[in-house]
A = this chain, B = another copy of it.
Amino acid sequence: MTEDATPTSPEDLARHAEKMAKKKAARDKIMATKTGEKGLIIVHTGKGKGKSSAAFGMIFRHIAHGKKCAVVQFIKGAMSTGERDLILRHFSDLCEFHTMGEGFTWETQDKARDVAMAKTAWEKAKDLIRDPSNSMVLLDEINIAIRYDYIDLGEVVAFLRDEKPAMTHVVLTGRNAKEELLDIADLVTEMELIKHPFRSGIKAQLGVEF
């Protein structure tokens, strides 16, 4: 039985209350030092699932709080269509949505078009980020476009560092985020793949993957 197991005596309960009161005091003291606010550069990367879903979760939080936000999808795949439909159908007044890419590059097999699409998406992204009425802008799968050199890493980093309004949050998702991007980011999460049902022959399923 661990220290945290269900208590059986009044002494246990009292000890628990005291321990938790100390923990709360320590935590409150730490949190009191966290008073700053700023627009964050947030990166979700890694091979695991949830990079885009977690980003859309933040977009839904913004919508729930009545704050304006925007999404640019750099790669149009089968993924995230559920979220897109929901936003377009119910919340298009609060959240502008642009899907610029035409699918992963191995689907389209037309690099010149892919490059042109990515560049158009990046121009739109800059406009949306510059607009101070947007509280959060999600650049979904932009890391893929950067990785294939469809858009220039140096330009993205310089823009976010020098031109992003101070209070605007920008979220960048996709595998293989570049070091230079991680360097300027405030919040980086790596989604690590531990176990995946594809390995047991299970296909992508509605409501889970899309």
Whether the Cβ atoms of A4 and B149 lie closer than 8 Å is yes
Structural contact, B61 and A60, CB atoms closer than 8 A: no
Please measure, in the bound complex, the distance between the C-alpha atom of A115 and the C-alpha atom of B193, giving whole angstroms. 32
Contact between B36 and A203 (Cβ–Cβ < 8 Å)? yes
10 A-B pairs besides A34-B201, A54-B57, A186-B202 with CB distance below 8 A are A31-B203, A36-B203, A38-B197, A40-B202, A49-B189, A53-B55, A61-B83, A64-B89, A187-B195, A187-B197
Interface residues on chain A, number (Cβ under 8 Å): 92
Within 8 A of B (CB), among A58-110: 58, 60-65, 67, 69, 81-83, 85-86, 89-90, 105-110
User: CB distance A64 to B83 under 8 Å?
Assistant: yes
The answer to the question of A156 belonging to the interface, with a C-beta cut-off of 8 Å to chain B, is: no
Q: Which of B136, B150, B201, B206 contacts A207 (CB 8 A)?
A: B136
Residues of B near A189 (CB, < 8 A) are 48-50, 191-194
CB distance from A103 to the nearest CB of B (A): 10
| Minimum distance in angstroms from A173 CB to a CB of chain B | 10
A93 shortest CB reach to chain B, Å: 13
Known: A49-B54, A186-B197. A38 touches B192 (CB 8 A): no
Asked whether A210 is an interface residue with its Cβ less than 8 Å from the other chain, the reply is yes
The digit string for A24-51, where 1 denotes a CB below 8 A from any CB of B, is 1001000101111110101010101111
Q: In this complex, what residue of B is CB-closest to A39? A: B205
Interface check A157, CB cutoff 8 A: no
Q: Which residues of B contact A53 (CB under 8 A)?
A: 50, 53-58, 61
Contacts of A2 in B (CB 8 A): 149
| Chain B residues, CB < 8 A from A36 | 200-203
Contact status A24-B201, CB under 8 Å: no
Q: How distant is the Cα of A46 from the Cα of B83 in the complex, in angstroms?
A: 24
> What are 5 A-B residue pairs whose CB atoms fall within 8 Å in the complex?
A4-B147, A4-B149, A34-B198, A60-B82, A190-B191
Q: Is A17 an interface residue (CB 8 A)?
A: yes
Are B46 and A208 in touch, CB under 8 angstroms? no
